[in-house]
């Protein structure tokens, strides 16, 4: 495997990419690595990481985000074909408030079953349209 100058020596995912820690590899290319999560929330739960260390989505250059999500789609297709789940969540968490546990951009591919007990889904409830509109204006002003 080629050397990757943009990896952190202390990051667990960077160590997996370098082959220092074993994994159940699903796919690897020059830019990404996909492997099974060893703490799965569902059978088939996989992770996709870029071979570029960056703490989260916001800190990661756009090209690496694109590569990561392209690889996540490839893994989701394989999970779909293999397990035929009722659904698949593609999850990417940023920061402790979102329960990010490893500070290296990673994408979860999680096969779902009806009533599987996972709590990441939420019930729809109507929002305050005026407040939503005002917040949209504030966010839109910061879109680059």
**How many whole angstroms from its chain centre is CA 78?**
16
Pairing, β 87-91 against β 46-50: unpaired
CB 142 within 8 A of CB 50: no
Strands (E), 29-73: 32-36, 46-50
Residue 11: partners with Cβ closer than 8 Å, 6 or more residues away: 53, 102, 103, 104
- Choose the catalytic residue: 45, 53, 104, 106: 106
Task: Enter the DSSP assignment of 97.
Answer: G
104 in active site: no
Catalytically active residues, by annotation: 106
């Amino acid at each position: 495997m080629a050397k990757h100058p943009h990896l952190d020596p202390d990051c667990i995912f960077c160590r997996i990419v370098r082959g220092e820690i074993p994994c159940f590899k699903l796919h690897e290319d020059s830019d990404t690595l996909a492997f099974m999560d060893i703490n799965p929330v569902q059978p088939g739960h996989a992770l996709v990481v870029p071979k570029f260390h960056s703490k989260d989505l916001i800190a990661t250059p756009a090209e690496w985000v694109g590569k990561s999500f392209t690889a996540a789609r490839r893994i989701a297709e394989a999970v779909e074909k293999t397990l035929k789940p009722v659904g698949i969540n593609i999850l990417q968490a940023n920061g402790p408030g979102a329960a990010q546990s490893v500070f290296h951009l990673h994408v979860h591919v999680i096969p779902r079953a009806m009533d599987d007990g996972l709590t990441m889904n939420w019930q729809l409830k109507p929002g305050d349209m005026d407040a939503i509109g005002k917040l949209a204006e504030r966010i839109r002003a910061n879109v680059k």
